[in-house]
Structure 1
């Protein structure tokens, strides 16, 4: 039976317009994977309670047995692709790992399938993790271990191992560099990801973007205007995003890089 009880959802319910989609996604995943399916987990903004209609993607991690076949993975990608399964969010970002890989700490991408699909995403189904930048997946597994919501099967903390501290900070540094370059990323998202990276380095826990932005605005008055502008922008749908002053964004992200580098050096000692 699909597990979407209040307990598995955590302190905040999943958004109403996403729940039927997730039920159908779980049902199709169960039919395709059969006995090889271990867990289906809601991760990302759904797990951290920061999902924004028109802005956020639906992020899902699937864990399967190592015996799963390539044909099953290709079938899963086909049956979950938008518009065959219409996505009510900006997009679906779904990653499949085998149980053995997911259950050990790793700094690699390591996926069996990485599926991006939806109204605002360029469709992509990758079955080879080697060319992919590993940092996205390392951070996502860290968030999943901490906060992932079980939609089916075993709990996130039981099947997703947390990355080692050094690997995780390497991934955070790479993420900050990626957002510093800015290509393909909205300005408000770049700023709020920076806030979340700094807060993670301070606390060792992942926080929703808006909560991280409010925390950094409160403790760093020099950057309060650009962070508050990012918070306001984040309330708008992705299609209505507005630019932020490039110089202020650049200065803030340079400061973020410094804080993350300090944390990485401290772990390396």
Structure 2
């Protein structure tokens, strides 16, 4: 990892021991393929927010490159980082590559050059076309990256990745809650905890780790406490052993979370 980081030793301590060797090798491969065009490599998600759970969490990485990188290099990068060519010790790797121009903008779009999903528990994806992609995942990740990203190499996250405009963040939260309300392809506990994270952001303006957000929401909303505590217990289990939560209660909670997002967006003019 790199001495160009601000408080680099502290940044490195935030990376869980189970991931350090993997992320060091990931950075080495990114630099080997992309050379001097690499601006920054940043980890976001549960690592950045201090709630990585080995065996349950993905590892989320944002790579910022000078935008003139040839497309053939992106194809090579996806191949070099794919599991098991680079064995992923987490549930999966979700890696997004942006051009430095997009990363430095306040755009509410997806805007990626490469969206790579790989790992033992993820469906393989190496998408280079952001058109039609669900932009909200990318907007939320860039917001977290700007505020809390852990710089693995290169320019500090706050300098390389801009905070998306507030209207874009609220639009992303609306879409995220709708996605989890639909439920397709998501574990019930993760749907509930993501709803909590959206609510806490709307109330505080800060991103919290999912479990911390669930505990905070449970304390403030006793009517939802049994569901949120059940989601937290389930989240302690491996993905394959997650509990089934009451579907009607999950829908009711996410409908309520959606209302809180709409209220906060209206108050902020978003």
Instruction: State the Cα deviation string for residues 223-264 of structure 1 (Å, max 9, x = none).
Output: 000001111111111111111111111111111011011111
1:59 and 1:17 map into 2 onto residues whose CA distance is: 14
2:227 and 2:256 map into 1 onto residues whose CA distance is: 13
2:249 and 2:152 map into 1 onto residues whose CA distance is: 40
Q: Deviation at 1:130?
A: 0.6
Match of 1:226 in 2: 227
Contact 1:2 1:23 (8 Å CA) reproduced:
no
2:142 and 2:224 map into 1 onto residues whose CA distance is: 30
Contact 1:53 1:237 (8 Å CA) reproduced:
no
1:212 and 1:61 map into 2 onto residues whose CA distance is: 23
Instruction: State the Cα deviation string for residues 191-225 of structure 1 (Å, max 9, x = none).
Output: 11011000000111100001101100100000000
Secondary structure of residue in 2 paired with 1:39:
strand
Match of 1:13 in 2: 14
Match of 1:194 in 2: 195
Match of 1:165 in 2: 166
Match of 1:259 in 2: 260
- The 5 Å alignment of 1:104-253 reads 104-253=105-254
**What TM-score does the superposition give when structure 2 sets the normalisation length?**
0.96
Alpha-carbon RMSD: 1.2
Contact 2:106 2:163 (8 Å CA) reproduced:
yes
1:106 and 1:19 map into 2 onto residues whose CA distance is: 31
2:210 and 2:173 map into 1 onto residues whose CA distance is: 15
Contact 1:2 1:26 (8 Å CA) reproduced:
no
1:159 and 1:200 map into 2 onto residues whose CA distance is: 23
1:2 and 1:264 map into 2 onto residues whose CA distance is: 38
1:26 and 1:239 map into 2 onto residues whose CA distance is: 30
Q: Which runs of 5+ in 2 are unaligned?
A: none
Q: Deviation at 1:267?
A: 2.1
Contact 2:14 2:150 (8 Å CA) reproduced:
no
Runs of 4+ in 1 over 6 A off after TM superposition: none
Q: Which runs of 5+ in 1 are unaligned?
A: none
1:215 and 1:122 map into 2 onto residues whose CA distance is: 32
**What TM-score does the superposition give when structure 1 sets the normalisation length?**
0.97
Secondary structure of residue in 2 paired with 1:79:
helix
Q: Does 1:88 align with 2:71?
A: no
